[in-house]
Amino acid sequence: MGYSLPSLDVPEISAAKVWNASWTRAEVEGFPEVSENEVVRHFVRLSQKNYAIDLGFYPLGSCTMKYNPKINEEIARRERFANLHPFWPERYQQHALSLQYDVQNLLKLLTGLPGFTLQPSAGAHGEYVGIKIMQAYHQKKGHKKTKVLIPESAHGTNPATCAMLGYDIVSIPSNDTGIVHLEEVERLLDDEVAGIMITNPNTLGLFEENIHLIADKIHEKDGLVYMDGANFNAILGITRPADLGVDIMHINLHKTFSTPHGGGGPGAGAVGVRGDLLSFLPTPTVQKTDTGFGWNNEMPESIGRVGGYFGNFSIHVRALAYLLSIGSSPDGKSAPYFRKMSEAAVLNANYLKARLKGYYHIPHDRACMHECLITDQNQSLDGIKTLDIAKRLMDYGYHPMTVYFPLVVSGAMLIEPTESETKENLDDFCDAMIAIANECKSLPDIVRTAPHCTFRRRVDELRAQKQPRLRWSKNLS
């Protein structure tokens, strides 16, 4: 496609004769024959229809879609990083091993946890590694632990991870305060509980202020506290998870440390552990030696390899560039400016909540962390639902916020501004949301049938999920 090639000067061979006929398909009727110019224009037009963080505010709650500084991209594309080969001798990998060692040191500093692995490729992958470590710990001690406590306000991947590893999930119900109370944990805690998976701040955007008390109770049963660190952007430099009693956690480097993510990756879910769990970390680990840096494969209690070679190394490069630009020292001994970063993210979320209050229902009207939660309760009186509001927001030029999550709140709209956005950007977004709230009363049909100004009108997402059409056809509209 896009090229004029000379006539074939070798015998033509049918692919169906070389491979199994079931692996090939018949000629696609109406398949286009186009020039290079047309191909380029087609894909450029498609790219212009995409929304991106470089184009506007991405208010996705629980996703931390912050701006990705271009200097990070430039560094990650440098030849010695971009062309790194895992089979090079260690003496040629020193720059990469040194970089990963620095990333681990900074994560130790920020969390208080003494050991990290950078192998996991995403947050959910990090959860899997963390619970595998929890499982290995109990197996070594001869415990017969079968259950993990998980609050309803935790991320949905938490119970899925535990189920994958054979644990029974004991759900901690949410209450009117939006946080987990010690009494609820005590009621469910017994000798079969391996630990708790807790998201802090939780998916309602609230800090779990009882976490240290909960951790004490879990430890009394020799259980472990796993903290989902996807929302780490809210507390970075303000508090260290280890000081709250956390034993294991993962950190989404692609969220907190500004590396590109979405659409399936890439990502990095670094996992940190307390001191007596170091021996269970995946192998190999990066270690400092008398002659430089190297791989340590001598860990008999390790849960084994969970990722290929360096993990998603380009994400580690970008994360370190961001860490150093914020104000950390490479030796991991100081990090003075992270608190300001998180405080700005928290301030932005509370500013949004204050401006939208009175127009949208606030289920937990108290200081939130890095994201604010509103619902469609006021608009539902006029027959308008959360999905309608999200679709109408697209007409104002914004990507919708996270909708219908957390599941424990009816008609939820979760908005995370991050520290990247200016007051002017936040005001423009709030003006759009307030205008939509007014339209719900004065022009409800406009909202119900939105969007009206996008390349596509309202699509039926459920039909696409239940009746997918995976083969191309010229008859598809």
pLDDT in tens, 232-291: 999 999 999 999 999 999 999 999 998 888 765 688 999 999 999 999 999 999 999 888
In this predicted structure, the answer to whether residue 355 has a pLDDT above a threshold of 90 is: yes
Phi, psi of 401 (to 5 degrees): -70, 175
Residue with tokens 């130790």: 108
Question: Over pLDDT 70: what percentage of the chain?
Answer: 95
Please tell me the predicted confidence (pLDDT) of residue 329.
Answer: 63
* Cα dihedral 429/434/440/442 (nearest 10): -120
Q: Region 289-304: what's the mean pLDDT?
A: 92
* Residue 477's pLDDT band (cuts 50, 70, 90): very low
Domain pair 84-326 / 340-463, same fold:
no
Whether residue 280 contacts residue 303, with contact meaning beta carbons closer than 8 Å, is answered with yes
Both structure tokens of 373: 């939660």
Average pLDDT, the chain: 92
Dihedral sign computed on CA atoms, order 110, 113, 115, 117 = negative
Q: Where is average pLDDT lowest: 137-151, 321-335, 358-372, 435-449?
A: 321-335
Phi, psi of 227 (to 5 degrees): -110, 125
What's the confidence (pLDDT) of residue 266? Answer: 81
**Residue-level pLDDT at 1:** 57
Which pLDDT score, from 0 to 100, does residue 260 have?
Answer: 82
CA 80 – CA 76 distance, rounded (Å)? 9
Q: Does residue 466 have a pLDDT over 80?
A: yes
Average pLDDT over residues 181-202: 97
CA separation for the pair 198, 249 (Å, rounded): 10
Secondary element (H or E) of residue 216: helix 211-220
Q: Which residues of 67-97 are buried (b: 16+ CB within 10 A; e: fewer)?
A: ebbeebeebbeeeebeebeeeeeeeebeebb
Continuous segment of H or E residues that includes residue 111: helix 94-111
Closest alpha carbon to 136 in 297, 307, 273, 285: 273
Residue 36 has pLDDT above 50, yes or no: yes
What's 84-326's CATH class? Answer: alpha beta
The predicted pLDDT at position 61 comes to 94
Mean pLDDT of 449-456: 93
User: 55-64, 90-99, 465-474: lowest mean pLDDT where?
Assistant: 465-474
Torsion on CA atoms 120, 122, 123, 124, rounded to nearest 10: -90
pLDDT > 90 fraction of the chain, expressed in percent and rounded? 75
Strand partners, 285: 296
Note the pLDDT of residue 332.
55
Q: How many Cβ atoms are within 10 Å of 216's Cβ, its own excluded? A: 12
Give the tens place of pLDDT for each residue, 121-158.
999 999 999 999 999 999 999 999 999 999 999 999 99
Greatest mean pLDDT among 49-58, 188-197, 452-461: 188-197
Burial of 455 (0-12, 13-18, 19+ CB in 10 A): exposed
- Sign of the C-alpha dihedral, residues 137, 139, 143, 148? positive
Q: Where are the alpha helices (DSSP H) in 35-69?
A: 36-48
- Which one is predicted more confidently, 459 or 370? 370
The predicted model gives 60-85 an average pLDDT of 92
When pLDDT is averaged across residues 98-111 and rounded to a whole number, the result is: 94
Q: How many CB atoms lie within 10 A of CB 149?
A: 25
Token pair in block for residue 357? 């209050």
pLDDT at residue 334 above 70?
A: no
Residue 51: C-alpha distances to residues 99, 400, 411, 457 (Å): 33, 11, 24, 16
Nearest to 254, CA basis, from 184, 299, 312 = 312
How far, in Å, CA of 199 to CA of 205, rounded? 10
Is the pLDDT confidence value at 358 over 50?
A: yes
Cα–Cα distance, 389 to 401 (Å, whole number) = 10
Q: Under CATH, to which class is 340-463 assigned?
A: alpha beta
Residue 354 clears pLDDT 80, i.e. is over it? yes
Domain positions in the chain: 84-326, 340-463
| Average pLDDT score over residue span 369-391 | 97
Identity of the residue numbered 198: I
Q: How many CB atoms sit inside 10 A of residue 292's CB?
A: 13
Alpha-carbon distance 64 to 56, whole Å?
14
